[in-house]
Each structure stands twice: as C-alpha cells, then as structure tokens.
Structure 1
Amino acid sequence: MAIDNSTLNDVLKSSGVSDGTSKPKTQTTDSNALGKDAFLQLLVTQMQHQNPLDPQENGEFVAQLAQFSSLEGITALNDTVTAIAGAMGSSQALQASSLVGRSVIVQNDKAMVDTTKSFNGQVVVPQSISEGKVTIKDKDGNVVRTIDLGAQKAGNADFIWDGKNAKGEVAPAGEYTFTATTTVEGKSVEMYTLLPATVTSVTFGTNGGEMMLNLAGIGKVGISKVQTIGI
C-alpha cells in the first residue's frame, strides 16, 4: 500500500505537522508533535488511498487503532495528573493559611520566649541516661539558667522554664538558646532540643518544592521538619 507524497504532505500541513520541507504553522505546542487529530486523518487517508488490488491487512489497521487508543489514554492521563496537581496546590494553600499565627514544635536550639509565662520544650534522649541538663543562654551568650533533667529513658524528655534567671528574677523577653547535654562514658554529649515557635508567614515551594514556614526568631524551616502543630 502506498500514499502519494503530495496527499501525505497535505494531511500533515492541515494538521500543523511539519513535513520537513516547509515551515509549519506557528503553534504554542511543539509543531513536530503528531497529535490525535493528525493521526486519525492519516489513518483515514491511508484507508482511502490503499491499493484495492492489494489492500492492507486488518491486523495492521487494528494495530494502528490500538496506537490511537493508547494516545487517547495518555492524553486523558496527563489531564488527570494536571487536575490532581492543581487540587494539591489549592489544598496546600489552604493548609498554609491556617498555620499562620499558630505555634509549631521544630528541632532547633533557638526560640523567642515570652518570659512572663512558662516555656515548654523537649529534649531528644537517644538512650537511657543517668543525668542531663539544659543550659539556657541569652542572645549575648550569657548563661541565664540551667535546668536539671535527672535520669531519663530513651525518647523525648519534657522540660519547663519559668522564665526566671538563676537569681529568681524574671528574665527579659527575647531570643534564647537552649543546649541539652549529658555524659556518656565520661564524655559530654549534646542532645537535640524540640522547641516551640510561631509561624509568621508561609513560602510556597516552586516546581514541586517543599513548602517553607517562616518562624519568629528562627527563619525558614521546611514543613516536613515540624514535629507538632499547636494552637
């Protein structure tokens, strides 16, 4: 079976597909891509111009129709994925708006503290310890208070700071650093701290990137780093 080149070129041109010798029409998509409309036109033209004395086998037409069905399926799948991505973006925006102004718990050693009320934090204890402590320093690096953790099992150990210094005076509100340490085999070992922070704004990820939370006194933290979301 053969199709006249001029007939094939006419079909390609009418479908916006380049025949390699003439410039295709300007389109927003790839002009060399064979779309489903062009595919169907080529199939119909092929049937119209086949040699009646040597017609194409039915199996060959079935194979071409199967390719057409696959193309339709891929197009529908792309549309579905695009719709899902849009829905996820809307859901992420709704989630982000609800986080602004709320308190979250993140792994960090700094926090903005209102010393007029108690400050609650946690220490990640990697293994059972006989003793441990949390050292609190102000923004200038001066030790304000040391909290004794005592013996702790592996897991998260809670601690509370009442906002007062070692002299029993209320410390000024502001940024403080919390360092948790213990002793393992005679060596001082630092442990992670989980501290609360207030979400001031949210930055959406681009090109599928992670949403970032802007936390007061800390900066940007990925939402995957959040341990707990509070009030």
Structure 2
Amino acid sequence: MAFGTSIDPAATARPAATSKTGVAAKASATPEMAKAEEEAKAADATSRAARAAADFESFLKLLTTQLRNQDPLQPLESTEFVAQLASFAAVEQQIGTNTRLDQLVQSLSGNALDRAASYLDRSVEVAGGKVAFDGETPVAVTYDPGATAVAAAAEVRDAKGATVATFAVPATAGTQTAEWDGLIGGQPAEPGIYEIVVRAARPEGEVETVATRTVSRVSSVSLEGGEPRLRLDTGAEVALGDILSLS
C-alpha cells in the first residue's frame, strides 16, 4: 500500500480551521509530503522491495511530522490515529511479503540453473539443421519428407549461407537420416558450423523445405531473465523447453 492512499493530507490538517498552530502544522507538513513523493518516484527505478521500503520510510516521516505539529488543543482523534497505525502495519507487511517473494524467485532460478548445469557436455536433439563439423566425422540431420514426396535432396550451407554441397536423400515417409560425409567437391571441408537443409519434391512439381532435427553437444549454460539457456557447440542458444531428447 502506498502511503498516499493510507493518509489523507486534508484530514490530517483538520486543526488548521480553528488554530494558528494547526496552520503552522499544515505548512510544515507540506514540504515533508513533497519530499516523500520525490523519494517514492526515485524508488520506482529499483526493485519492488526497494520501492516498498521507500514508501514505508515516507509513511513514517509523514506520520511523525503530523504528530509533532498537531494542535495540542485539538489532537488527532484516536480512531483516525488507529486507522493510520493499521496502514503502517500493512505497509510493513507488504515489504516482508515482497522480500520473501524475491527470495523465492531467486531460489527457483537457482534450482533451474542447477538443472540446466546437468546438461553440460550432454548431447541434445533440437529442431533445425545446424551442425558442428570437426573436419573428419560425418554429420547428419533427421527429417520426415511426408507421404507425398517423390524425391528429396539435402543442401549443405556454410556459415555465410552459400550452398557448398548437395546430395540425394531418401524420400520415403517417416523419420529419415540425411548424413553429410564432410566432402566438398571430393575434398574434406574445413571444420566449422554448417547447416543441412532438406528439400522434398511433390507430385505437382512443387519443392518445399521440410523440418529437420539435429543432435548437438551442450557447451555451456547461462541464466537470462531468470530462465536457463543452453549454448550448443553449433553456437545456437536454446531454452530447456526446446530440447526434444537427451542422450
């Protein structure tokens, strides 16, 4: 609860109608209220806990200023004072709640990062055709050309997107494998990141790209926005929810 909604400045300045002392109290409280509002605005750039703490401090300043400057002949009514103390307790409770929520979020984030760390150096299957070629070992992707495919071929593209190799692949419906032997024009390709794209031809003569999957190694993990991210040896970053299988 923000302090501005727990105390009505017009109500706290009620003695001003009958006493010079009350007028002085209102005049002295006004700068305090303005300062409290400025402090609350500045706190908006911080966390929720910090904003609540700023409101809490402003509430205290306003309450003590009001008590210090009230008209002794017409002090604040007990019922109104009790209501303000209740607001004071609500603000304090909000600070404690926000603090506990922040601690819970940090705990959950830590658990998620621990879980992601268990993927390090493991092989995961993700959507897409990016592969990390070591210069020797053939690399592959899996795909399903669909029931209407009459032919299929794979294109190997380098890091710049240029096609460096093509080869025929099975066009039978169901999960198939397109394996690249790592050769370009009969010569071994340079190690690096490549992409294998599979295209299937349909009876009507239409050629379309089909979805592929590839297996990559998890090289590192990180936490971004409270969510764990996995960096693969292909350079791609994926969320835990993007993992199709783990081996």
Give the direction of change, closer, same or farther, for the CA distance of 1:49–1:181 in structure 2 (3 Å limit).
same
Q: Is the 8 A contact 2:152 2:171 kept in 1?
A: yes
- Measured in 2, the distance between the counterparts of 1:103 and 1:44 equals 63
Distance 1:142 1:224 in 2: 32
- Structure 2: segments with no counterpart, 5+ residues: 1-14, 16-21, 38-45
2: CA distance between counterparts of 1:34 and 1:209?
A: 25
Answer whether contact 1:120 1:159 (CA < 8 A) is retained: no
3-state SS in 2 of match to 1:197: strand
TM-score by length of 2: 0.59
Instruction: Mark the CA change 1:106 to 1:34 in structure 2 (over 3 Å): closer, same or farther.
Output: closer
**CA 1:186 to 1:39, structure 2 compared with 1: closer, same or farther past 3 Å?**
same
Letter in 1 for 2:215: P
1:179 paired to 2:194 = no
Q: 1:92 aligns with which of 93, 103, 112?
A: 112
Match of 1:230 in 2: 246
The code of the aligned residue for 1:56 comes to L
1:114–1:163 CA contact under 8 A, matched in 2: no
Q: How many Å apart are 1:203 and its aligned residue? A: 3.5
Tell whether the 8 Å contact from 1:104 to 1:197 is kept in structure 2 after alignment.
Answer: yes
Relative to structure 1, the CA distance from residue 77 to residue 132 in structure 2 (aligned partners, 3 Å threshold; closer, same or farther) is: farther
Are the equivalent residues in 1 in contact too, given 2:141–2:213 (CA < 8 A)?
yes
Q: Which position in structure 2 is the counterpart of 1:54? A: 74
User: 1:99, CA displacement in angstroms?
Assistant: 1.5
Aligned counterparts of 2:23 and 2:164: Cα–Cα separation in 1: 84
How far residue 71 of structure 1 moved from its aligned partner, in angstroms, is: 1.0
The structure in which a higher percent of residues are helix is 2
Please, what is the CA RMSD of the aligned residues? 4.3
| Residue 202 in structure 1 maps to residue 221 in structure 2 | yes
Q: Following TM superposition, by how much is the alpha carbon of 1:83 offset from its aligned partner in structure 2, in angstroms?
A: 0.5
Residue 225 and residue 124 in structure 1: after superposition, are their counterparts in 2 closer, same or farther (change >3 A)? farther
The structural deviation recorded for 1:50 is 4.8
Q: 1:19, 1:73 → 2: CA distance? A: 20
Percent identical across equivalent pairs? 22
Aligned to 1:221: 237
Unaligned runs of 5+ in 1: 21-28
- Change over 3 Å in CA distance of 1:165–1:52 after alignment to 2: closer
Residue in 2 aligned with 1:149?
Answer: 171
Aligned residues: 201
What is the CA-CA distance between 1:161 and the residue it aligns to?
4.8
Which deviates the most, 96-105 or 54-63?
54-63
Q: Is the 8 A contact 2:156 2:165 kept in 1?
A: yes
